[in-house]
Amino acid sequence: MTIAVFHESYRPLLEARLPAHIEPRWFSSRDELYALAPQAEIGWFDGLTLPDMWGSAHVAKKIRWLNTNGAGVENFPLAQLRELGAVMTNGAGLTGPAIAEFVVLGVLNFAKGFADIVRAHDRREWLTSTPPADELTGSRALVLGAGGIGAETGKRLAALGVEVTYLRRNPGPGDLGPDGWRARLGEFDWVVVTVPATAETNGMIGAAELAAMKSSAVILNVSRGAVIDQDALVDALREKRIRGAFLDVTSPEPLPADHPLWGFDNCLITMHLSGRSTTPRAPVAAERFLENLARFERGEPLLNQVDLAAGY
């Protein structure tokens, strides 16, 4: 028998479809999860708080396969999983459409001056002259990272007439690679950050990169706050060296109420909400898990398998 540990909410989607040799054990509380995790050979620990999920993974010393719905895996014990010879799969693509739509919201907000319109509405003021309103057709976007979120974002921006260029580790025709993108930053109106959080991407947007951007450019971050040097961003926004920033992520989170980013009219903070959706994802996640379970038992590569050395 193979012991597999799941949150109780997945029982209706999984229990009747698990092979006979899989022994499911269900948790609904933190204490139950921490009691079951050390027994798990297969673990899907989503369902409680993020710290509970990350912490329980540290005590799963028998784990052979760890699954999560999230795309970012930087808080999991990746080195420990490598030492155990385990594999890990993530939820890349599950939240891609929702996050990509949020990026489009951010782009349209700045293109149409929508935040100024909302502020006027809150003041009950009828504007007699509209804020500057740009059309997206013909503008250019650089999407840093071409994974599930980046690809979905680029597809939607392209449909609105935006010329999209991707930064990829292994660039194809028309893409930019790790060595060439910084010299091209001044060509883009929208810089969209969707890279995974790794030691390599930490602080990849700093003072030099912000200085290289157009003064009319907007940076949009749906990755992790640490990817952007936040102090450098504060300076750039305060001095209006770039047009603005749309930040779904910050460092730290929650962002303290007295942080200067809250006070800039050219910065919109959306509190790490971009992946939220009322569209049910659990059935899709369960189907993906069951497909991967069949692959796992056949010794085949898993869908959305994490490179534990690279961290994504």
Is 224 a residue of the active site? yes
CA distance 46 to 282: 11
Q: 2: alpha, beta or left, given left = phi > 0 and alpha = psi -120 to 50?
A: beta
Residue 130: its pLDDT value, please?
Answer: 77
- Evaluate whether 2-94+281-298 and 96-269 have a shared fold: yes
CA distance 299 to 169: 28
CA distance 160 to 268: 22
Amino acid at 47: G
Task: Strand 163-167: give its sheet, edge to edge.
Answer: 163-167, 140-144, 190-193, 218-221, 244-247, 267-269
Chain segment 23-61, per-residue pLDDT in tens = 999 999 999 999 999 999 999 999 999 999 999 999 999
Residue 274: its pLDDT value, please?
Answer: 97
- Sequence-distant (6+) residues with CB within 8 A of 207 are 229, 232, 235, 236
Chain segment 210-224, per-residue pLDDT in tens = 999 999 999 999 999
CATH of span 96-269: 3.40.50.720
* pTM attached to this predicted model: 0.90
- Sequence-distant (6+) residues with CB within 8 A of 256 are none
For the beta carbon of residue 90, count every other beta carbon within 10 angstroms: 22
Active-site residue, from 83, 253, 291, 297: 253
Active-site residue, from 140, 259, 272, 295: 272
CB-CB contact of 143 with 154 (8 Å): yes
Is 259 a residue of the active site? no
pLDDT, mean over the chain: 97
Chain segment 118-138, per-residue pLDDT in tens = 999 999 999 998 788 999 999
Is 83 a residue of the active site? no
Q: Superfamily assignment of 2-94+281-298 in CATH?
A: NAD(P)-binding Rossmann-like Domain (3.40.50.720)
Active-site residue, from 7, 168, 224, 288: 224
Domain boundaries, the chain: 2-94+281-298, 96-269
